[in-house]
């Protein structure tokens, strides 16, 4: 390893807009294929399990992801934010220490995530035993569910993937991320088909979901290590001298803020599933999952843009070209909002016959819920390119405040709507929270771009171009 000359090069051909479009298209293609496999998996599961069993599987996965992502310090964002300067300056030592810090943070995160998941559910069981009236939804065996949660959440312990994600985004290796996006859907589909064929029931399908996640996480961090080895960086990373609590740059403030922001984003993404399970039980949780999958046809693509656009915005800021950010971002937002609204119209026109013919009468109630979640997803599309601006301009605290306010709006709207419209509450809450976020984001992101353009680095870059 030490004989290999470290390689910090990445693909830089083409303009920013072209790279964003190319990388987004690559990941979107993988996600579309993965979504089709996911729908196939849901078809197998809904045809083999009762609505309550299917809702339990959905809850297990959402619960695991909630605590895994709450505990995860998004080290990939630090790799992009600080690693971009290291790559630009050819600083192998600085990048190696940064990556070692990131991997250490990932290991700490997964251990913390598992302890939080198991401990939190243990607390729920204790409360349910002492106050039976507060037990989660009707038909839930809380002790049997606790055993499943403890076993299923073991997959968190191999989810130390964030730094690997940062490596591939930093070096513009989105082909690997596209392949990674297919691992879980393929494995889960095969596992679900086997579980249905063998008649393994709830346990078999839970195992299929578990193994799919396990395979994806192992693939990602293994590929990250191989990428470092190929670039001659694995040795420097392993040898890097790094003080975890006092790193060589002021990274902890950024890391803590990005973790808070990701925790709030996790709340927006997975909290609805937990709230539905707690208030309405496993049967409606399964119905909600079907409606959510329809909306995910949009939201998964929007999350991909966030992954692609942030590295490009960070490069523009690093080069003193923050003045180009707003045009790129507003164009992306307008396109995503238009796509989302067009898809919403299709759901309103054709959603009911399509969903009922695919999933059956048991899930017909998913149609009106999907009709609310899809327009909410369209609003999320308008917001998706705006959040990365705060990280690229070194203002993650603003993302934290806006996402926190949006989550508060969601929870309040959910509880109010649950009392008024009952089981359709998640749809109305999503519309309220996403609409609120878009309005606030437009003003805050615009101000962040203007401030970055007036920064000393930007002014120096302007002077150099004028000279």
Instruction: Write the pLDDT tens digit of every residue in 451-465.
Output: 765 544 444 444 444
pTM for the model stands at: 0.72
Q: What pLDDT, in 10s, does the model give residues 192-208?
A: 999 999 999 999 999 99
Distance in angstroms between the alpha carbons of the first and the last residue of the chain: 43
Specify the higher pLDDT residue, 303 or 129.
129
Average pLDDT over residues 422-439: 89
Determine contact, residues 314/83, Cβ cutoff 8 Å. Answer: no
Average pLDDT over residues 401-422: 89
Find, among 220, 254, 266, 216, the residue nearest to 116 by Cα. Answer: 266
Q: Is 74 left (phi over 0), alpha (psi -120 to 50) or beta?
A: beta
Residue 70 lies in a domain: yes
Residue 294 lies in a domain: yes
Residue 182 lies in a domain: yes
Residue 11 lies in a domain: no
Domain extent at residue 203 = 16-466
Look at the chain and report how many structural domains it folds into.
1
Q: Best-predicted range by mean pLDDT among 1-10, 64-73, 230-239?
A: 230-239
Q: Is the pLDDT of residue 52 over 60?
A: yes
Q: Is the pLDDT of residue 35 over 90?
A: no
The residues, any chain, with a CB within 8 Å of residue 377's CB and separated by 6 or more, are 295, 296, 298, 299, 302, 340, 430, 434
Residue 2 lies in a domain: no
Q: What is the C-alpha to C-alpha distance for residues 219 and 184, in angstroms, rounded to an integer? A: 10
Q: What is the C-alpha to C-alpha distance for residues 113 and 121, in angstroms, rounded to an integer? A: 12
The pLDDT of residue 193: 96
The pLDDT of residue 220: 93
> Which range has the worst mean pLDDT, 19-33, 66-80, 84-98, 424-438?
19-33
Q: What pLDDT, in 10s, does the model give residues 280-327?
A: 888 788 888 888 877 776 666 566 565 566 566 666 666 666 566 667
The residues, any chain, with a CB within 8 Å of residue 405's CB and separated by 6 or more, are 436, 437, 440
Q: What is the C-alpha to C-alpha distance for residues 58 and 395, in angstroms, rounded to an integer? A: 35
Buried residues in 5-27 as b, exposed as e (16+ CB within 10 A): ebebeeeeeeebeebbeebbebb
pLDDT tier at 378, thresholds 50, 70, 90: confident
- The number of C-alpha atoms within 13 Å of 227 and in the hemisphere containing its C-beta is 25
- The number of C-alpha atoms within 13 Å of 314 and in the hemisphere containing its C-beta is 30
pLDDT tier at 124, thresholds 50, 70, 90: confident
Residue 1 lies in a domain: no
């Amino acid at each position: 390893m030490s004989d290999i000359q470290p390689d910090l090069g990445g693909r830089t051909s083409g303009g920013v807009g072209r790279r964003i479009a190319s990388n987004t298209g690559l990941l979107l293609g993988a996600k579309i294929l993965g979504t089709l496999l996911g729908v196939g998996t849901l078809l197998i599961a809904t045809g083999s399990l009762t609505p309550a069993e299917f809702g339990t599987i959905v809850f297990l996965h959402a619960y695991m992801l909630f605590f895994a992502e709450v505990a995860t310090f998004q080290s990939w964002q630090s790799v992009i934010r600080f690693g971009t300067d290291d790559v630009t300056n050819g600083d192998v030592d600085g990048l190696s220490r940064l990556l070692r810090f990131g991997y250490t943070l990932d290991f700490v995160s997964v251990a913390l995530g598992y302890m939080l998941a198991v401990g939190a559910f243990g607390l729920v069981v204790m409360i349910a035993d002492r106050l039976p009236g507060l037990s989660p939804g009707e038909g839930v065996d809380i002790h049997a569910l606790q055993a499943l949660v403890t076993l299923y959440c073991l997959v968190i312990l191999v989810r130390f993937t964030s730094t690997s994600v940062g490596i591939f985004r930093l070096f513009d290796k989105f082909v690997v991320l596209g392949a990674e996006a297919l691992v879980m859907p393929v494995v889960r589909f095969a596992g679900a088909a086997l579980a249905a064929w063998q008649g393994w029931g709830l346990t078999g399908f839970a195992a299929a979901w578990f193994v799919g996640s396990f395979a994806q996480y192992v693939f990602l961090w293994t590929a990250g290590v191989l990428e470092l080895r190929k670039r001659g960086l694995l040795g420097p990373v392993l040898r890097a001298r790094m003080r975890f609590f006092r790193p060589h740059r002021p990274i902890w403030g950024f890391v803590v803020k990005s973790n808070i922001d990701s925790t709030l984003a996790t709340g927006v993404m997975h909290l609805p599933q937990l709230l539905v399970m707690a208030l309405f039980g496993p049967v409606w949780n399964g119905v909600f999952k079907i409606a959510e999958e329809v909306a995910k046809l949009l939201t998964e693509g929007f999350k991909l843009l966030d992954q692609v656009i942030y590295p490009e915005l960070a490069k523009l800021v690093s080069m003193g070209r923050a003045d180009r950010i707003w045009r790129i971002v507003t164009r992306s937002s307008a396109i995503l909002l238009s796509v989302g609204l067009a898809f919403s119209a299709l759901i309103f026109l054709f959603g009911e016959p399509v969903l009922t013919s695919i999933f059956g009468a048991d899930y017909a109630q998913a149609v009106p819920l999907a009709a609310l979640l899809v327009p909410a997803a369209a609003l999320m599309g308008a917001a998706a390119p705006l959040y990365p601006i705060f990280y690229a301009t070194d203002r993650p605290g603003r993302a934290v405040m806006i996402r926190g306010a949006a989550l508060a709006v969601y929870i309040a709207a959910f509880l109010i709507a649950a009392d008024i419209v009952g089981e359709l509450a998640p749809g109305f809450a999503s519309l309220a929270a996403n609409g609120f976020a878009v309005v606030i984001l437009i003003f805050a992101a615009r101000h962040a771009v203007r401030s970055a353009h007036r920064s000393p680095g930007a002014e120096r870059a302007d002077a150099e171009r004028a000279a």
